[in-house]
């Protein structure tokens, strides 16, 4: 019982921190669960479901208070879902390590650019529909090649484009909902789930996601969110560098 309480605490903290950037926490939660003794398949399914439930809660907040830009979110989600299988197919033709290291370099670059001081920060509140179509297609394709969630690629691209970080967090969170749940279903079908473990991680993540959404839109300025995302980009870069090196 005490071990499940530890999982709940870890899940809440990681889901809250990553939720501030509109991203799922599986990239941090899974290795932590493995470190404390949870078998990797169970840690992976728990992390994916926690991703799903925390970003779903975050998205519910955004929908409830009108913080979701449908014009950007819908084409982003649709094209990412369409192109993910294409990337998975192409992964047999191009070495994963090459693409992976380019992805890592891009995350380091995006994280660094976030902290480069600018005389005047002007954020775009909207963009032509072609932008989310291209970003969704590209991120879905790369995510399919590497077998990862695409949120860690969509977010830095949209940030570098100059979109308001609050808009970025809301549209990326919606895309993570679909990707995480579809991946979790695969583990469920294969029997790699432990429901007491999943529930102990998912329940606090519901509150963490909603709270993160509330704080992001109520108290944080765009430049603050941008810096939080910069730190998350570095964390993602280090995590994937360890995988692909």
pLDDT in tens, 12-36: 999 999 999 999 888 889 889 988 8
Q: Average pLDDT over the chain, rounded to whole?
A: 89
pLDDT class for 2, splitting at 50, 70, 90? low
Pick the more confident residue, 134 or 87. Answer: 134
Q: 147 pLDDT band (50/70/90 cuts)?
A: low
Domain ranges of the chain: 2-244
Predicted confidence (pLDDT) per residue in 198-232, tens digit: 999 999 999 999 999 999 989 999 889 999 999 99
> How many other CB atoms are found less than 10 A from the CB of residue 130?
9
Its pTM stands at 0.88
Write out the two tokens for 4: 């499940």
């Amino acid at each position: 019982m005490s071990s499940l309480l530890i999982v709940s605490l870890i899940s809440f903290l990681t889901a809250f921190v990553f939720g501030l950037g509109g991203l799922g926490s599986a990239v941090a939660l899974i290795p932590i669960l493995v470190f404390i003794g949870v078998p990797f398949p169970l840690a992976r399914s728990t992390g994916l479901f926690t991703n799903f439930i925390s970003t779903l809660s975050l998205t519910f907040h955004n929908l409830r208070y009108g913080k979701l830009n449908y014009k950007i979110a819908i084409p982003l989600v649709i094209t990412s879902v369409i192109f993910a299988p294409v990337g998975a197919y192409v992964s047999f033709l191009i070495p994963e390590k090459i693409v992976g290291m380019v992805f890592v370099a891009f995350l380091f670059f995006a994280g660094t650019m976030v902290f480069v001081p600018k005389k005047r920060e002007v954020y775009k509140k909207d963009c032509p529909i072609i932008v989310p179509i291209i970003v969704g297609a590209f991120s879905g394709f790369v995510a399919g090649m590497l077998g990862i969630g695409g949120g860690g690629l969509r977010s830095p691209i949209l940030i570098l484009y100059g979109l308001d970080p609050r808009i970025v967090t809301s549209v990326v969170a919606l895309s993570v909902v679909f990707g995480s749940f579809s991946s979790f279903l695969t583990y469920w079908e294969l029997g790699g789930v432990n429901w007491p473990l999943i529930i102990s991680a998912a329940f606090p993540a519901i509150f963490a996601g909603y709270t993160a959404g509330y704080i992001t839109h109520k108290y944080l300025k765009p430049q603050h969110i941008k810096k939080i995302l910069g730190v998350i980009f570095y964390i993602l870069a280090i995590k994937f560098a360890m995988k692909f090196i």
